[in-house]
Structure formats: structure tokens, C-alpha cells
Amino acid sequence: MGAYESEPQRAEIPDEGGSLARHSLTSAVVGLALFSLPALAQEGTTRAKFEVYPANAKVYGQRVNENGWDYLSEADQPVLLSRKAHFNRDMAVFKFEAPGREPSEEKTLAWTKVSGDNTVDTGITLKAQSPMLAFQDWRHFTPWSDIALGLGLLGLCGLAGLAFWLLKENRKRKAEEAYFDLLAKQGVSVNQQIGRYFCKNKIGEGGGGTIYRALPVNNPNTDAAVALKMLDAKTAQDRDFKERFQREIEATSKLFHPNIINVHDADEVSDGSDLDGTLYFVMDLLNGVSLETYLRNHKGPLDPELVGNLIAQAADGLHHAHIQGLVHRDVKGDNLFFVDNDRVVVIDFGLARKPKQTIQVTRDSKIPGSTLYMPPEAELIETEEDEIRYYKQSYDQFSLAILAFEMLTRGRPFVTQDGLKNLFVMDSIHYTAIKSVRDLQPHLSPDFDPIFQRALARNPEERYPTIVAFAEALLEVCEAQTKKVESENLA
């Protein structure tokens, strides 16, 4: 046979017997299936979903031959149902439960309703047992609930705002009534004219006088507000207080320095009223608090650099007074005003004295000034010669050094002085040692100690030559302390 010669084709012979056999088998299978269909239906299963609120409610089916329930699934998931296990005469009993809600009543459903992957609307809503779930249900079933909720919250905010305003106004009214009563007792009424000023409200007191916020009669603009200090009606009859008040007016009116309170005017009431003859003077209205108040509201010691700056400013003001021949004699936290968080102003020169001053003030066995800040020489002043000897800048330097020690350590500088009553404070100053700053604040530099040892020396001649010299020495160590802490924090 050649390479290009094909093999003879074989003839196809139909297989009639095989085809007949296949048709017969197919018919038999179909017939068997049709015959078995009712039986399969009788024993079948189906899947169904149940429309229940909430959608995650658990579905339970009652068993046919037992007194019990089978957990099937959650309502929003396809539930596999067995006709044999759960349906009796094509009827099944279901119930639904969800946390925080009352269980549903039993629900009977026919096989025809649940078979064929149906979604069955049961019409069941499980009743909420808590206000929160009830609120959620209300939002779910109420289309405009969010709008209503928003309006309700807006209304509540409005009512809360109104209640707050009413409460604030009520407190304001009570405060005004109390204030009016106080002024009435003191013989001063709101907007009462005192000399060339209208008194508006009381802002403080001290040195036998009361301080009011006031406005000039010829310029009632609030920007022109000043502080008016007037001798109280009771103390106006006391010769000592009156002389002290006159001395404060005289001393302060001659001092012009950014760290000393500036006095603008001084006079006495002469309008024929009950206050006729009462002394008053007008000074800057300061925006701030006393250093004593600031320390009381501040927990722990102050930053050393801040202490150095505040003491330096106070020393500058006091040094200006010393140059004018005045010694303050009552340097303490109450008489240093902390203005705008960066400036110190010295106030209340009611005890300021010049050596050999002609005004004689009765002491009644009481040393003028604040005992806790008094230098030991205060007890030695009895004659004019004593005044010349001891009324010097070193007097105020001692007081300012105690205040600086307190600001750095929040403690008293003399051993056994903490908690002592005034009767024994001077004894502790005279007879006990000066503490190291490290006894109270171990992190502070030992370089502070020689500064305080010198400024608090019992002999005034051993202190710094000027109050500014003390402040400069203190500031240098304070700044070094701050730089040391900053470098340690960066390391």
C-alpha cells in the first residue's frame, strides 16, 4: 500500500437493541421518581426566614413527640425546618426570644406557608423591657423620629440655657443685694459721688480703709476706671489709723515707678453728707491678684526663674522708695500685687516711715507690721535714734528675703518657726538657725544658702548694701538653677 493510499472505510451498522434498552431504563427511573414523590415530600426539609422584630430574635421550634423546644437559628438567617421533627399534621409551633425583651406568644404555621425557601411575615414585635430598647423601637418604627429627636434636644438645650441664665441672674441679684447691704452699712451707696468720683463696687480692703472701683465724674467711661481707697467710717475716728492713712497718701503720691502703685489724686469728702471729712485717695486699678493669693492658689514652690524676676521687680520698686528716704516696713505677699502674670507692683505704704519722722503713732505695745516678715531689729526701735539706726533698706530687705525663701521652698526660713503663733515668731528669728533651701527642696542649688544667710542676718549691717544687690544675687542663682534643670531635661 502506498504512502498516499487510504485504508478502506468500514460500514456503520445501527444498534437497534441498545437504543431500545436505554429508553426503557429512562422510563423506569421517571416512573419511580413520580411514584416516590409523595413519600419524599412527607419526609422533606425546607428553609425559611421569619420576619420578626428585632431581626436577630432567636427562633425556637416545638418538637412533635416531646415537650420541648429546639433552637433553630436567628430570625434573619435561613432556618432549616424538618417536616418530620417539627410539623404535626403539617402544622408547626414556633416562638421567638431576644435579650432584654419579653418572649413572644406561640405562633402556629402551616407547612405550606414555610416550605419553598419562603420569608414568613409573622407580624411579631418583641416588647422591650428597658427604656433604652423602647427608645430604639420608637426610632425604628417612626419615620420622623430623628427630626423629632433633634427638635427635642434643641428644646432641652434651650430650656437648660434658660435655666442656667435664670440661675445666674438670681445669683447676680442676690450678690448685688448683699453688696448693696454692705455698702449701706459702710455709708457708701452704688454710684454715690465721693469727691470727683463715682464709687461702683468694693474690690478690697486694708490698712484701715476700703478700696472701691470708681469712675471719674467727668469721664464715666469704664476704660477710665480707677481704685479709690477711703478711710472706713469706724477707723476715721481713730487717730492712729487716720495718721497712718495720711502717711500712706503722702508717701505714695511722691513715688513714680512702674513697680509702685501710682497715686493720681487725694482729698477728703466735703459734701455735707455723713462721710464729710473722710479721707480718700485715687490710684491705678490693677488687673491681677496679690502675691499672697497667687501663692495660696499655686501648689508647690514656684519656678526659680519666676521667683528671681518677681523679687527683682519688687526690689526695684522698694529701692526707688529707699532713695526717697522711705522704708515700707510691711513687705509681704499681701502688699505685692501680681499684675498681668508678669509684673509686680508694691502697694500699701501705710506703714512707710522716714527716720526721725515727726508724726508719732501710738503702738499700744504692738509692733507695726506683719510679725512673720519682721526683722529682729523691729523690737529694738523705741527712740528717734533707734529709728535713724534701723529704718533703712535692710529692714525691707529682710522681709523680702523671707518672702523669696517661701516662694522657692513653700516653707519658713527659721528652724522651729513653722506653725508658730506670732507671740513666738520673733523668738525663733532671734534664736534659731536659718534653714538650708535643700532641707525643704533637695533639688535646689546650695548656692542659694549663702544668699539667704546674708540677707537674713540678724545684724542689719551684715546684710547686702542695697535691696537691689540682694535681688541681683538671687536672680543670678535662680537663672542658673533653671538652666541646669533645662539641660538635665534635654540630656
DSSP per residue, 59-122: EEEE-SSSS-EEEEEETTSPEEEEHHHH-BTTEEEEEEE-TTBPPPPPEEEEHHHHTTT-EEEE
Concerning whether 330 is annotated as a catalytic residue, the answer is yes
Distance CA 124, CA 127 (A): 9
Asked whether the beta carbons of 204 and 211 are under 8 A apart, the reply is: yes
For residue 236, name the pLDDT band (cuts at 50, 70, 90): low
Beta carbons within 10 angstroms of residue 64's beta carbon: 16
Q: Please tell me which residue, 5 or 451, carries the higher pLDDT value.
A: 451
Q: What is the mean pLDDT of residues 247-272?
A: 83
Helix (H, G, I), strand (E, B) or coil at 276: coil
Judged against a pLDDT cut of 90, whether residue 385 lies above it is answered with no
Asked whether the beta carbons of 263 and 283 are under 8 A apart, the reply is: yes
Grid cell of 458 as nine digits: 540678724
Judged against a pLDDT cut of 50, whether residue 42 lies above it is answered with no
Q: Give the model's pLDDT for residue 11.
A: 43
Q: Please tell me which residue, 133 or 12, carries the higher pLDDT value.
A: 133
pTM > 0.85: no
Q: What is the mean pLDDT of residues 399-419?
A: 84
pLDDT digits 0-9 by tens, 168-178: 877 766 665 55
CB within 8 A of 30, min separation 6: which ones?
none
Distance CA 221, CA 214 (A): 10
Judged against a pLDDT cut of 90, whether residue 253 lies above it is answered with no
For residue 409, name the pLDDT band (cuts at 50, 70, 90): very high
For residue 355, name the pLDDT band (cuts at 50, 70, 90): low
Check the CA dihedral 308-313-316-317 and report its sign. negative
Nearest to 400 by CA among 455, 476, 448: 455
Q: Please tell me which residue, 54 or 367, carries the higher pLDDT value.
A: 54
Look over the chain and give the mean of its residue pLDDT values, rounded to a whole number.
78
Distance CA 175, CA 470 (A): 45
Backbone phi, psi, residue 128, to 5°: -70, 145
Q: Give the model's pLDDT for residue 402.
A: 95
User: Roughly what angle, to the nearest 10 degrees, separates helices 304-323 and 393-409?
Assistant: 170
For residue 242, name the pLDDT band (cuts at 50, 70, 90): confident
For residue 189, name the pLDDT band (cuts at 50, 70, 90): low
Beta carbons within 10 angstroms of residue 478's beta carbon: 29
**Which is catalytic among the residues 232, 330, 348, 396?**
330
pLDDT digits 0-9 by tens, 10-35: 444 444 444 444 444 444 444 444 34
Q: Give the model's pLDDT for residue 418.
A: 53
Q: Give the model's pLDDT for residue 2.
A: 43
Judged against a pLDDT cut of 50, whether residue 299 lies above it is answered with yes
pLDDT digits 0-9 by tens, 94-111: 889 999 899 988 888 888
Q: Give the model's pLDDT for residue 187.
A: 46
Q: Give the model's pLDDT for residue 302.
A: 92
Q: What is the mean pLDDT of residues 424-445?
A: 83
Check the CA dihedral 157-158-161-167 and report its sign. negative
Asked whether the beta carbons of 314 and 336 are under 8 A apart, the reply is: yes
Angle at 234 between CA 231 and CA 240, to 5 degrees: 70
Judged against a pLDDT cut of 90, whether residue 471 lies above it is answered with yes
Judged against a pLDDT cut of 80, whether residue 475 lies above it is answered with yes
Order of all β-strands in the sheet with 288-290: 288-290, 336-339, 343-346
Task: Return the biggest CA–CA distance within the chain.
Answer: 161
Torsion of CA 394, 396, 399, 400, to 10 degrees: -100
Q: What is the mean pLDDT of residues 70-83?
A: 84
Angle at 367 between CA 243 and CA 320, to 5 degrees: 65
Q: Please tell me which residue, 66 or 10, carries the higher pLDDT value.
A: 66
Q: Give the model's pLDDT for residue 416.
A: 56
Judged against a pLDDT cut of 50, whether residue 8 lies above it is answered with no
User: In DSSP terms, which residues pair with 216 in a beta bridge?
Assistant: 197
Q: Please tell me which residue, 184 or 465, carries the higher pLDDT value.
A: 465
Judged against a pLDDT cut of 90, whether residue 63 lies above it is answered with no
Judged against a pLDDT cut of 80, whether residue 353 lies above it is answered with no
Q: What is the mean pLDDT of residues 47-52?
A: 86
Could you give the percent of the chain with pLDDT greater than 70? 76
Grid cell of 389 as nine digits: 539706726
Q: Which of 22-26, 35-39, 77-81 has the largest mean confidence?
A: 77-81
For residue 37, name the pLDDT band (cuts at 50, 70, 90): very low
For the range 59-62, what are the long-range contacts, defined as Cβ-Cβ under 8 Å and sequence gap of 24 or more?
59/94, 59/96, 60/94, 60/95, 60/96, 60/97, 61/85, 61/86, 61/92, 61/93, 61/94, 62/86, 62/92, 62/93, 62/94, 62/95, 62/106
Report DSSP state, residue 326.
Answer: -
Judged against a pLDDT cut of 50, whether residue 464 lies above it is answered with yes
Q: Please tell me which residue, 451 or 273, carries the higher pLDDT value.
A: 451
